[in-house]
Amino acid sequence: MIVHPKIPEKGVSAEELEKILRKIGDERYHVHHPFHKLMNAGDLTKAQLQAWALNRYCYQFIIPQKDAVILSRSEDPEFRREWRKRIIDHDGGEGDEGGIARWLKLAEGLEVDAELVKSRKQALAATRFAVQAYLDLVSQSSLLVAVASSLTEMFSGAAISVRVPAMLKRYEYITEDTLAYFIPRLHQAPRDAEFALAYVKEHAQTPALQQQVVDALVEKCDILWVMLDALYHAYVEPGHIPPGAFRPDLN
Amino acid sequence: MIVHPKIPEKGVSAEELEKILRKIGDERYHVHHPFHKLMNAGDLTKAQLQAWALNRYCYQFIIPQKDAVILSRSEDPEFRREWRKRIIDHDGGEGDEGGIARWLKLAEGLEVDAELVKSRKQALAATRFAVQAYLDLVSQSSLLVAVASSLTEMFSGAAISVRVPAMLKRYEYITEDTLAYFIPRLHQAPRDAEFALAYVKEHAQTPALQQQVVDALVEKCDILWVMLDALYHAYVEPGHIPPGAFRPDLN
């Protein structure tokens, strides 16, 4: 049974806090979800991968908005200089199309229409609600909590370095071009995670704040997990695509 | 394929609008969800009914808050006099324990601990996100949209009048006392729906407003559907209970 960690009354050291956060990732990060296990094993159909790309786009879409909210809440130019890199990574700039554009290429590589993906109209309602929960979390909580909610990046580098070769090997129609989104993430995610983790370790100075950090990471893991639960239910279990959602067989 | 209705450019009559809204209910109201079909057929286990009661409590819990938001947004004492009945129905008053308390009795009748239910801690994250989406909808849209989002009540009377006898007949441990929540709903829901429908028909005076009403009802149906999708995935499909969620076998 996976337990929601409770910070003891007298608090923990910064190093112990990091250990607790890493354990949350070991247990709750969406790399452990059955949908991702099927993906890495080569056991998803192209239609299922299309549904994944289309729904996950909704998450990619809000990332720079989420990061702009965090920027807007910081009073420290040094923090903002570091954090704005995330927005640049996703939105692109001179000589770089950016992560959102690369995600659309991934969708197109899976032969799902980019305009349909961009419209977000056929995404699962659960995806929309989870993504909104992420925006709410960074908007309505403290800056510390907002930063802590980004700590899933601590676990994404390792996940990507398994996923990319697995997908290239096991899906003959997937090329390196299709997966181009993930390549810069291999250095961006650890860089971002390192900064956010150092921030959290420095600023979570009371047991109550440490608990908030723990809760934020659990909540963020829940958000990612809900998105995969919904995908699994709709597209892996037969016959459960909700009304109005993407129907691979009709597109 | 279920289509999201589009209001024609020149708009529709109030009667046509009502027909469109009723069709949305025919297609998308959660009474058509596989989880409810299993429930009425007597095919859910007590553990699955426990998970349903525990999660649905999160929805019951916010109903008076949601209705208070709507109250707070109306400038018309007559509207508020009518709408406040909903809060009284759920919160209770002299000689009436109210709908929320009756829902807790339903949970207790299913042998799930009322304190656990009230804590909402083991509810599915998808339930929390869907419930928050409902609060967001009534808080962040127009009063017309907020009222329209309540129109699922148009379909709940018929659903309850099938569900109650079906459950009494098919689950030997379910008594009339357990289902006491539903009995007052049989007259409250149609009363509330009639008022809300008349309001919507009167105030949706342009094609754009009519479309907003349609969209609001679709969104509300999506909210209810997401809750049942998540229940089905976690508790009907074996092996998919998300980290941290209610485990009937451990309670």
Residue from the list A27, A129, A244 with its beta carbon closest to the beta carbon of B2: A244
Mean pLDDT of B121-127: 97
Q: Does B24 touch chain A (CB under 8 A)?
A: no
Domain that holds residue A129: 26-236
Residue A138 lies in a domain: yes
The residue among A229, A241, A246, A247 with the most chain B CBs within 10 A of its CB, best to mutate, is: A229
Phi-psi region at A246: left, alpha or beta (left = phi > 0; alpha = psi -120 to 50): beta
Chain B positions touching A223 (Cβ under 8 A) are: 125, 129
Long-range interactions of A13-21: CB distance < 8 A, separation 24+: A14/A201, A14/A202, A14/A204, A17/A200, A17/A201, A17/A204, A17/A210, A17/A213, A17/A214, A18/A197, A18/A201, A20/A214, A21/A151, A21/A154, A21/A197, A21/A200, A21/A213, A21/A214, A21/A217
Three-class secondary structure of residue A12 per DSSP:
coil
| The predicted structure's pLDDT at residue A231 | 98
Give me the phi and psi of A172, to 5 degrees please. Answer: -65, -25
Inter-chain CB proximity A225 and B218 less than 8 Å: no
Note down pLDDT in tens along chain A; length 251 residues: 889 999 999 999 999 999 999 999 999 999 999 999 999 999 999 999 999 999 999 999 999 999 999 999 999 999 999 999 999 999 999 899 999 999 999 999 999 999 999 999 999 999 999 999 999 999 999 999 999 999 999 999 999 999 999 999 999 999 999 999 999 999 999 999 999 999 999 999 999 999 999 999 999 999 999 999 999 999 999 999 999 999 998 87
Quick one: closest CA in B to A134, which residue? B129
Work out how many CB contacts closer than 8 A connect A with B: 103
| Cβ atoms B228, B36 nearer than 8 A | yes
Give the distance from CA A104 to its chain's centroid.
16
Residue B185 lies in a domain: yes
Residue A42 lies in a domain: yes
Residue B210 lies in a domain: yes
Residue A249 lies in a domain: no
pLDDT tens column, B169-184? 999 999 999 999 999 9
Inter-chain CB proximity B230 and A126 less than 8 Å: yes
Interface list for B 197-236 with A (CB within 8 A): 218-219, 221-223, 225-226, 229-230, 232-234
Indicate the length of chain B as a whole number.
251
What CATH number does residue A195 fall under?
1.20.910.10
CB-side neighbour CA atoms (13 Å) of A173: 12
Total domains in chain B come to: 1
Give the distance from CA B163 to its chain's centroid.
14
Residue B108 lies in a domain: yes
Residue from the list B226, B237, B250 with its beta carbon closest to the beta carbon of A129: B226
| Cβ atoms B205, B7 nearer than 8 A | no
| Cβ atoms B119, B197 nearer than 8 A | no
| The predicted structure's pLDDT at residue A90 | 96
Residue B6 lies in a domain: no
ipTM for the complex shown: 0.90
Residue A225 lies in a domain: yes
The pLDDT of residue B220 is above 80: yes
